[in-house]
Amino acid sequence: MARNDHNEQAGSQLRISFEFFPPKSEEMEGQLWATVDELSRWNPDFVSVTYGAGGTTRAPTLSTVRRLISETTLPTASHLTCVGATKDEVRHVVDEFRAVGVRHFVALRGDPQGGMGTAYQPHPGGFANAAELVAGLREMGDFEISVSAYPEKHPESRDDAADIDMLKRKVDAGAHRALTQFFFDNDIFERYLERVRAAGITIPIVPGIMPIQNLTQLKRFASMCGSSVPSFLDDRFSGLEDQPQARAEVAAEVAAEQIEDLVRRGIGDFHLYTMNRTPLVNATLANVGLKPSVQAVAGAAA
């Protein structure tokens, strides 16, 4: 009973947002809109839709964002990158998204065109980095702007100081909040937040939470983006390879425990990487005491 009471108290303090990615097939499109419909019941502060490097998913991102804005009441942000594009091309994309109602961008430099792990080359006529992109967005309109943050340092940053300096440049250019890369060690996040505040950065730093769909795949992805996977996760999932239901329960418990611990440390905003799937997100939020509204957003899955 005490744990349930604590969970309800923690849940009542939370502000959440969700990340989706544009579908690549008809089947994936059906899954996305079923997920949007289901997760809308949690009344997120906003949802965001990813955007491939160099605009590789511009059309499906625009289509997804347009539908979210026109058919749901969910505040919707679009990711925006500047890799492989001139400033004029980026401005054209911004105008396209503004025309369908986008007023919030998640401004990112984007992965190198050669893929993660290859050298990044700024476009000669483009924005060199995310700080320049933020400044460009501020010149283009009165947009809400979120940016990225890296508790374990961006893989391409020289060191932690350079990484935080880039975040400060993005904030000085006009960013309103930072959404972090996923992490699993809250001590790492707390130390990062201390360094960020010491640098004079005062915007919200929103932890990115990744419910673990598949631990093996997660490790591969984490190794590419510079996130560590603590050994305790191996222990928690040990022996569950052939027990999908048990794995799902453990994954929801792990994510909920991470959120609850961050709440105890004074954090109230969380950005969940949904992977366009519902069950683990639902279970995680229920575990921390959040209660969904009775109805989903009308038209979201129509």
At CA 178, angle to CA 173 and CA 180, rounded to 5? 140
Residue 165 is encoded by which pair of tokens? 């300096």
Question: Which residues make Cβ contacts (< 8 Å) with residue 215, sequence separation at least 6?
Answer: 229, 233, 234, 237
Burial class of residue 155 in the structure, from the number of CB atoms within 10 Å of its CB (0-12 exposed, 13-18 middle, 19+ buried): middle
- 253 noted as active-site residue: no
Catalytic-labelled residue, pool 19, 38, 132, 152: 19
Distance, CA of 51 to CA of 193 (rounded, Å): 27
Distance, CA of 33 to CA of 14 (rounded, Å): 24
Question: Which residues make Cβ contacts (< 8 Å) with residue 142, sequence separation at least 6?
Answer: 103
Q: Hey, is 76 helix, strand or coil?
A: strand
Q: Which active-site residues does the annotation give?
A: 19
